[in-house]
Structure 1
């Protein structure tokens, strides 16, 4: 087995490609060692002591190094952990099921949406799914819809995209421009 690595626009994050499926559906982000307890793989990566974020995508794992961490040694440790995990076919989550899959839920919304906006919300979500999500996944991250109210779309960037120096530009110039073009009711995009 060979694990490829790719840089991301976020200089503190590397994307690791094991050449096989990581998540059967959805994504999962771990921002602390406590959250990582749900996944033996994420926990092992956090146990290096030099990691601030682990993100599972469909076919990749993004890892963010802590400030001051040395990627030259950390990269080898992460590759070794990933190799051990995938070669042994260990379960991704405690209990071996897909309980760790992150799926946006109604209670994840930051704002109470107006039922009259259902068509607008459907258009926004379709654009996010078909145009935005593939692009941010290519950079080692994901995007979560968090609501729409009074013309404002609330989104959360995850994985390599959270904390990336270009995340504001991605939201404002990229995603906001796209959504405003296709959905005239959108007036602004805000990070949530």
Structure 2
């Protein structure tokens, strides 16, 4: 088995591609060792002591290193952990695959939405799914819709995109411009 690595726009995060499916559906973001208790793989990565974030995508694992850690030292450790996991065909999560599905965005809204805005919200979600998520996944992350009210779209960046130096530019110049172009009711995009 071979695990390919790719850089991401976030210098603290590398994207690891095990050449097989990681998540059958959804994504999962582990922002702390406590979050990682749900997954033996995420837990093993945090156990290195130098990992501060793990993100599972459909066919990749993004790993964020802590301050002071060097990829030259950490990368071989991460590759070894991933190889051990995927070669042994160990489960990704304790207690079954359902644990791997991210909480649907509708259940983690930061802004209450108005039922009258249902059509606008559907348009926003469609654009996020078809135009934005594939690009963000290419950079080792994901994006989640967190609400819409009075022309303001609330989004959460995950994985390599969370904490990336270019996250604000991505939200303001990339995603906001796209949404404003296709959905005239959108006036602003904010990080949730």
Task: Please give the TM-score of this superposition, normalised by the length of structure 2.
Answer: 0.99
Match of 2:41 in 1: 41
* Deviation readout 1:93-129 (Å, 9 max, x if unpaired): 0013222210424330011111000000000000000
5 Å-filtered alignment, 1:10-159, equals 10-159=10-159
1:161 aligns with 2:145: no
The size of the alignment, in residue pairs, is: 192
CA 170–121 in structure 1, closer or farther in 2 if over 3 Å, else same: same
| Distance apart, 1:22 and its partner CA | 0.2
SS state at 1:158 partner:
strand
Structure 1 stretches (4+) deviating beyond 4 angstroms?
Answer: none
Equivalent in the alignment of 1:177: 177
Deviation (angstroms), 1:188: 0.1
Q: Is the 8 A contact 1:104 1:145 kept in 2?
A: no
Question: Could you state the TM-score of these two structures normalised by the residue count of structure 1?
Answer: 0.99
**Structure 1 residues not aligned, in runs of 5+:** none
SS at 1:184 equivalent: coil
8 A Cα contact 2:154 2:189, kept in partner: yes
8 Å Cα contact 1:13/1:160 also seen in 2: yes
Distance 1:106 1:54 in 2: 23
CA contact (8 A) 1:25 1:101 kept: yes
